[in-house]
Chains A and B, each alone.
Chain A
Amino acid sequence: AQRVTQPEKLLSVFKGAPVELKCNYSYSGSPELFWYVQYSRQRLQLLLRHISRESIKGFTADLNKGETSFHLKKPFAQEEDSAMYYCALSGPNQAGTALIFGKGTTLSVSS
């Protein structure tokens, strides 16, 4: 079965501390993995996707097929990073394939 697991409901860190939001997936094949973010009072939006292999707002995520993980990392957290983060997967790039979301992790960064 296709599934995305985010084991932490809430992650609280201090400003400047490293952050790692965990994501594990179950998928028979080669999925595409994403991180979506929802800041307070804003709509859900894409943060990054594994095929881009880019860093957005200082965040990176590496797809580890052996461990079926796609953890989101940032070396130094900022207060403006506080938000809800969703890991999501999609099947191969076929017409109409939809996203499967994890339950989300709330990141709280305090000074």
Chain B
Amino acid sequence: DAMVIQNPRYQVTQFGKPVTLSCSQTLNHNVMYWYQQKSSQAPKLLFHYYDKDFNNEADTPDNFQSRRPNTSFCFLDIRSPGLGDAAMYLCATSVNSGGDTQYFGPGTRLTVL
């Protein structure tokens, strides 16, 4: 089945230790998104790629970076994780804009010790 895959499902890191979360898709969608979802809160968009064009949300901290080396893969890099970065990170894809259906991965739960 075509889908959105996130690895790992659970990630534990230490305060300040860089961490990379991975997302891959077999849908061949143009757009890939990264959302941060903290407990009992709405998913919050961090950034998205439309093909190779990177779009950063204005309030996304510089600590968060992203890479999209090809259509299928997108990575979320947290350069120096703080305790406040502990959250569920959701990857999603859509054919084109947000007006299209977004297809979500299962998420990666990040714990910062």
User: Which A residues fall within an 8 A CB radius of B?
Assistant: 4, 9, 32, 36, 43-46, 49, 86, 90-104
Number of interface residues of B (CB under 8 A): 28
Contacts of A36 in B (CB 8 A): 102
11 additional A-B pairs beyond A4-B42, A46-B102, A95-B97, beta carbons within 8 Å, are: A43-B106, A45-B103, A93-B99, A95-B30, A96-B31, A96-B48, A96-B50, A98-B33, A99-B43, A99-B45, A100-B45
Shortest distance from the beta carbon of A104 to any chain B beta carbon, whole Å: 6
Q: Are B45 and A98 in contact (CB under 8 A)?
A: yes
User: Which B residues fall within an 8 A CB radius of A?
Assistant: 4, 30-31, 33, 40-45, 48, 50, 53, 55, 90, 92, 96-107
Q: Are B41 and A43 in contact (CB under 8 A)?
A: no
Contacts of A92 in B (CB 8 A): 99
How far apart sit A103 and B40, CA to CA, in the bound complex (Å)? 7
How far apart sit A4 and B107, CA to CA, in the bound complex (Å)? 22
Task: Report how many A-B pairs have Cβ atoms within 8 Å.
Answer: 68
Q: Are A90 and B104 in contact (CB under 8 A)?
A: no
How far apart sit A86 and B99, CA to CA, in the bound complex (Å)? 15
Contacts of A4 in B (CB 8 A): 42
Considering residues B4, B50, B90, which has the most beta carbons from chain A within 10 angstroms of its beta carbon?
Answer: B50
How far apart sit A101 and B31, CA to CA, in the bound complex (Å)? 18
How far apart sit A91 and B97, CA to CA, in the bound complex (Å)? 9
Choose from A86, A90, A102, A104 the contact partner of B98 (Cβ within 8 Å): A90
Q: Are B98 and A101 in contact (CB under 8 A)?
A: no
Closest A-B pairs by Cβ, 8 of them: A93-B99, A96-B50, A90-B98, A101-B42, A97-B98, A44-B104, A97-B97, A98-B98
